[in-house]
Amino acid sequence: MTYQIGGRDLKSRFFIGSGKLPSYAIIPEMVEKTGIEVITVAVRRINPETRHENIMDYIPGHCVIMVNTSGARNAGEAVRIARIGRELTGSDWIKIEVETDAKYLLPDNEETLKATEILVGEGFMVFPYISPDLVMAKKLAKAGAAAVMPLAAPIGTNKGITCAALLKPIINEIDIPVIIDAGIGRPSHAAEAMELGADAVLANTAIATAPNPVTMAIAMAKAVEAGRMAFEMGLLAEKEFADASSPLTGFLRRAE
């Protein structure tokens, strides 16, 4: 079943970040085996001395390239990276990532909002990476963001859904898609994000640093699918006391 995001019809609710991969050459196999349709990339200066393979040669043509603005320290720098990304790929999907805090890499929500306003005006599909703040998510939705990408935990920490109580209100209250990003270290984290009702999940570090990134990506993709299916069925509330799932064996003690 397809769903709509950033003006496209997608099937997969799992997005992959391409940072730290041992080789770009595994990307085609990863895409094929997981069914992912969105992959993020970053923009960096070329170093002619260390000639690398170009990641663009390995991303299958049907994938949507989401350029991230990592390295930007303010809205102006994020806007410049977005324009470069569009120039290079023709893709208008941009993940706004503005970080000034080197230790926890937490996003600067205020600069992110500024960049979003400018880039929406230039016709971009803007995907802001934010700390899970409902008020900011509402402002971003109003500014025309294509989705919001609240973090589950700081980037690369593998801590999982540390703030469900802050993510759930965003999922419940805003009308644009919510993609849970960062901190997803295990398939169970990805499933939990989807059970909460997220529209999609993005993972990078846990996949890229696994001994076999393709296998880990498959595990994550399955978890995303499982979590989504469960969400669509409606999850049951917790109860204080047991509620027998087998019929009660009343016949055993009839004589008592």
Partner 1 sequence: MIKLNGTEKPYCETIDKLLSENHYETKKIAVLVNGEIVKKEHWPVFALKPGDEVDAVTFVGGG
- Binding pattern to partner 1, positions 193-212, x when CB under 8 A? ---------x-xx--x----
Considering the complex, state which of residue 41 and residue 174 has its C-beta at the smaller distance from partner 1. Answer: 41
Catalytic residue chosen out of the listed positions 95, 114, 159, 168: 95
- Of 164, 49, 65, 195, nearest to 124 by C-alpha is 65
Token pair listed for 9: 């019809």
3-state secondary structure of 5: strand
Q: Which helix (H) or strand (E) covers residue 181, if one does?
A: strand 179-181
Q: Which helix (H) or strand (E) covers residue 96, if one does?
A: strand 93-96
> Residue 193: which residues within 8 A CB-CB, separation 6 or more?
152, 161, 167, 180, 184, 201, 224, 227
Count the site residues for partner 1 by CB under 8 A: 36
Q: Which of residues 2, 7, 47, 102 is near partner 1 by CB under 8 A?
A: 47
Considering the complex, state which of residue 44 and residue 142 has its C-beta at the smaller distance from partner 1. Answer: 44
**54 binding partner 1? (CB under 8 A):** yes
- Binding pattern to partner 1, positions 161-190, x when CB under 8 A? ---------------------x--------
**118 binding partner 1? (CB under 8 A):** no
Q: Phi, psi at residue 184, to the nearest 5°? A: -75, 105
**68 binding partner 1? (CB under 8 A):** yes
Q: Which helix (H) or strand (E) covers residue 141, if one does?
A: helix 134-143
- Of 124, 168, 130, nearest to 144 by C-alpha is 124
What gap in Å lies between CA 178 and CA 174, rounded to an integer?
8
Q: Which of residues 30, 64, 67, 148 is near partner 1 by CB under 8 A?
A: 67
What gap in Å lies between CA 4 and CA 237, rounded to an integer?
29
Q: Nearest approach, Cβ of 144 to partner 1 (angstroms)?
A: 23
Considering the complex, state which of residue 42 and residue 106 has its C-beta at the smaller distance from partner 1. Answer: 42
Q: Which of residues 87, 238, 240, 243 is near partner 1 by CB under 8 A?
A: 87
Q: Are 220 and 30 in contact (CB under 8 A)?
A: no
Q: Are 123 and 90 in contact (CB under 8 A)?
A: no
Q: Check if 95 is active-site.
A: yes
Considering the complex, state which of residue 52 and residue 254 has its C-beta at the smaller distance from partner 1. Answer: 52
Q: Which of residues 52, 62, 239, 253 is near partner 1 by CB under 8 A?
A: 52
Considering the complex, state which of residue 63 and residue 144 has its C-beta at the smaller distance from partner 1. Answer: 63
Q: Which of residues 83, 138, 159, 186 is near partner 1 by CB under 8 A?
A: 83
Considering the complex, state which of residue 56 and residue 229 has its C-beta at the smaller distance from partner 1. Answer: 56
How many Cβ atoms sit within 10 Å of the Cβ of residue 94?
A: 28
Q: Which of residues 3, 8, 35, 42 is near partner 1 by CB under 8 A?
A: 42
Which residues are part of the catalytic machinery? 95
